[in-house]
């Protein structure tokens, strides 16, 4: 143990003295010496004490690295390691003191709020100093929320991420939220609160890790929302079905569907599929089932594009510097989506941002919007009234073999259950020469950032895909990759269905 402590002290001294371009790698070396497998290593408590003692002696630009390291140790310490947490907590006065030294938009601010957010018992001494510090308003709001106590009588849940101050509700939204909260048990409400806290910590840690790796702090200004569109008449669902009847199949028996007046029924098993909500429902689930967003989903729909999606791309795609813009996404999709031999399916179409782009390019008569979430397909009918909207599961696509000319799955596959099964289904449905375009994410190679990325994935129920595994899945489904674009931790792919 003494040899380990001596080695850590030596590396910490090197960290204090090396050239600037070596600092981040040395900080990762320090990390590996005290943390592995998502847990602190033996000797981490002594190392934390030494960091606390020496943090004010290291060059100012390197204190952020040590603050993130201590925050990670505090977050991942087991319950039976109170000494480690106590030693980190003993250093809080020094880190609170550092709040007074902050300059606007420096990495230390993001690092400090991540560290301090783990000590709600010290909120009374942390928040006054943080309130007067040169902190980003979103960072302060996240810190304040993480230090707060759960109040069952007025739970602030489901709208903390990515920043509590971005969630200003209208009176109607407050009423909707109150109705939703009334359906939750105290245990469910507490669970939501804790999940919100974990999600914020993962986001805060990812922001801090990206800041110390690049020396830059991201701007979190939300995107402008897409313009509203007038709802389309629900009766259009059956008439739009006529354009695609030749490719759609019954989910139960795989037979053709036929139109019967205002209904769509299976010619073989006579199941009547709903069009009452303005879309063709092949989900075999009740209205409202299949939703992966919170019970107050209408709050999320209006904020998905301008607020939630950009935040998701920042943490999961390492897009803190905005290297991939919406314009870049549009350009890629328009350059690579090529329907061959059938219509284009927008799988997991969500709020319809890219479905609308594709319908403008190829025409509504060639595009099908498809999602499982009832709130999303309801929104799709408004955004793309000239395209057929369908509701159903991705793991069992209701289309004939080789009947689709293209499939687009943009920022969706990571949220789908059984993604390999879905990819196999896409391959089955694609016509030879048809294209599959996809935006998703791959695990970060950086062990520090990967921890926060993975924690965020766990909180939101998503996953990321190693490039090799995704390539093998596509190949097994009969598709060959023809283009691969991997900025940050994005995985943006175009594959073509090969001949049988």
Tell me: the pLDDT tens digits for 36-78? 999 999 999 999 999 999 999 999 999 999 999 999 999 999 7
Beta-strand relationship, 388-391 and 280-281: parallel
Mean pLDDT score of the chain: 91
CA angle 243, 249, 255 (to 5 degrees): 125
pLDDT at 496 over 60: yes
pLDDT for residue 176: 86
pLDDT at 287 over 50: no
What's the rounded Cα separation, in Å, for the pair 18 and 92? 26
- CA 385-390-391 angle, to 5 degrees, is 130
Q: What is the model's pLDDT at position 51?
A: 97
Residue-wise pLDDT tens digits, 89-131 = 999 999 999 999 999 889 999 999 999 999 999 999 999 999 9
Report the pLDDT value the prediction gives residue 219, as an integer from 0 to 100: 73
428 alpha-carbon distance from chain centroid: 28
Please give the distance of CA 380 from its chain centroid, rounded to a whole number: 21
What's the longest Cα–Cα distance across the chain?
A: 82
429 burial via Cβ count (<10 Å: 0-12, 13-18, 19+): buried
Residue 18 has pLDDT above 70, yes or no: yes
Note the pLDDT of residue 1: 67
Confidence of residue 235 (pLDDT cuts 50, 70, 90): very low
Global confidence as pTM: 0.93
Cβ neighbours around 5 below 10 Å, total: 15
By mean pLDDT, which of 152-156, 352-356, 439-443, 445-449 is the weakest?
152-156
Name the phi and psi angles at 199, rounded to 5.
Answer: -65, -45
Residue 392's pLDDT band (cuts 50, 70, 90): very high
> pLDDT tens-digit profile of 196-225?
999 999 999 999 999 999 998 877 766 555
Q: What is the mean pLDDT of residues 424-432?
A: 97
Q: How far apart are the first and last CA of the chain?
A: 61
pLDDT value for 236 = 62
The band of 398, judged by pLDDT with boundaries at 50, 70 and 90, is very high
Confidence of residue 295 (pLDDT cuts 50, 70, 90): very low
At residue 126, the pLDDT reads 98
Q: Which residue has the higher pLDDT, 164 or 296?
A: 164
Q: What is the pLDDT of residue 234?
A: 43
**SS3 labels along the chain:** CHHHHHHHHHHHHHHHHCCHHHHHHHHHHHHHHHEECCEECCCHHHHHHHHHHHCCCCCHHHHHHHHHHHHHHHHHCCCCCHHHHHHHHHCHHHHHHHHCCCCCCCHHHHHHHHHHCCCHHHHHHHHHHHHCCCCCHHHHHHHHHHHCCCCCCCCCCCCCCCCHHHCCCCHHHHHHHHHHHCCCCHHHHHHHHHHHHHHHHHHHHHHHHHHHHHCCCCCCCCCCCCCCCCCCCCCHHHHHHHHHCCCEECCCCCCEEEEECCEEEECCCCCEEECCCCCEECCCCCCCCCCCCCCCHHHHHCCHHHHHHHHHHHHHCCCCCCCCCHHHHHHHHHHHCCCCCCCEEEECCCCCHHHHHHHHHHCHHHEEEEECCHHHHHHHHHHCCCCEEEECCCCCCCECCCCEEEEEEECCHHHCCCHHHHHHHHHHHEEEEEEEEEEEECCCCCHHHHHHHHHHHHHHCCCCCCHHHHHHHHHHCCEEEEEEECCCCEEEEEEEECCC
Q: Per-residue pLDDT tens for 400-414?
A: 999 999 999 999 999
Report the distance separating Cα 24 and Cα 15, nearest Å. 9
Do residues 282 and 288 lie in contact, with contact meaning Cβ atoms separated by under 8 Å? no
Walk me through the domains of the chain, giving residue ranges and CATH numbers: 2-214 (no CATH), 283-497 (3.40.50.150)
pLDDT of residue 285: 58
What was the pLDDT predicted at 78? 77
- Among 186-200, 254-268, 314-328, the least confident range: 254-268
Residues 6+ apart with CB under 8 A from 116: 92, 95, 96, 122, 126, 130, 143, 147
Contacts of 81 (CB under 8 A, 6+ apart): 40, 44, 45
Q: Is the pLDDT of residue 294 over 50?
A: no
Q: Which of 441, 389, 433 is nearest to 412 (CA)?
A: 441
pLDDT over 90, % of the chain:
73
């Amino acid at each position: 143990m003494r040899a380990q402590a001596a080695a850590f002290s030596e590396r910490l001294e090197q960290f204090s003295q090396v050239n600037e371009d070596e600092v981040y790698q040395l900080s990762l070396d320090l990390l590996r010496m005290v943390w592995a497998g998502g847990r602190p290593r033996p000797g981490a408590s002594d190392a934390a004490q030494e960091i606390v003692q020496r943090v004010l002696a290291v060059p100012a630009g390197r204190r952020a690295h040590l603050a993130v390291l201590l925050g990670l140790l505090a977050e991942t310490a087991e319950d039976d390691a109170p000494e480690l947490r106590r030693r980190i907590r003993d250093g809080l006065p020094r880190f609170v003191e550092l709040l007074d030294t902050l300059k606007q938009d420096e990495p230390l601010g993001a690092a400090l709020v991540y560290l301090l957010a783990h000590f709600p018992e010290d909120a009374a001494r942390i928040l006054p100093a943080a309130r007067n510090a040169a902190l980003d308003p979103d960072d302060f709001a996240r810190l304040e929320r993480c230090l707060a106590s759960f109040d069952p009588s007025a739970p602030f849940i489901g709208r903390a991420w990515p920043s509590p101050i971005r969630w200003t509700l209208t009176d109607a939204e407050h009423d909707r939220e109150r109705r939703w909260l009334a359906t939750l048990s105290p245990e469910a409400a507490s669970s939501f609160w804790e999940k919100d806290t974990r999600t914020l910590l993962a986001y805060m840690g990812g922001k801090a890790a990206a800041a110390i790796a690049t020396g830059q702090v991201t701007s979190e200004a939300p995107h402008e929302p897409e313009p509203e569109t007038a709802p389309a008449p629900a009766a259009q669902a059956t008439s739009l079905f006529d354009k695609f009847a030749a490719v759609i199949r019954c989910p139960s028996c795989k037979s053709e569907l036929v139109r019967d007046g205002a209904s769509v029924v299976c010619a073989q098993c006579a199941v009547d599929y709903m069009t009452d909500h303005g879309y063709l429902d092949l989900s075999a689930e009740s209205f409202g089932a299949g939703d992966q967003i919170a019970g107050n989903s209408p709050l999320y729909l209006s904020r998905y594009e301008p607020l939630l999606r950009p935040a998701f791309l920042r943490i999961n795609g390492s897009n803190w510097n905005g290297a991939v813009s919406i314009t870049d996404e549009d350009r890629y999709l328009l350059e690579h989506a090529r329907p061959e031999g059938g219509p284009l399916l927008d799988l997991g179409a969500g709020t319809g941002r890219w479905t609308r782009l594709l319908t403008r390019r190829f025409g509504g008569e060639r595009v099908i919007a498809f999602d499982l979430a009832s709130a999303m397909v309801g929104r799709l009918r408004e955004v793309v009234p000239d395209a057929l909207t369908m509701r159903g599961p991705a793991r069992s696509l209701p289309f004939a073999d080789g009947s689709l000319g293209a499939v687009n799955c943009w920022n969706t596959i990571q949220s789908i259950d059984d993604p390999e099964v879905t990819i196999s289904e896409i391959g089955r449905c694609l016509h030879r020469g048809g294209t599959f375009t996809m935006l998703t994410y791959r695990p970060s190679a950086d062990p520090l950032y990967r921890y926060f990325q993975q924690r965020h994935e766990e909180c939101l129920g998503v996953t990321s895909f190693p490039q090799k595994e995704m390539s093998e899945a596509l190949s097994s489904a009969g598709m060959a990759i023809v283009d691969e674009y991997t900025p940050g931790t994005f995985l943006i792919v175009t594959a073509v269905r090969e001949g049988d």
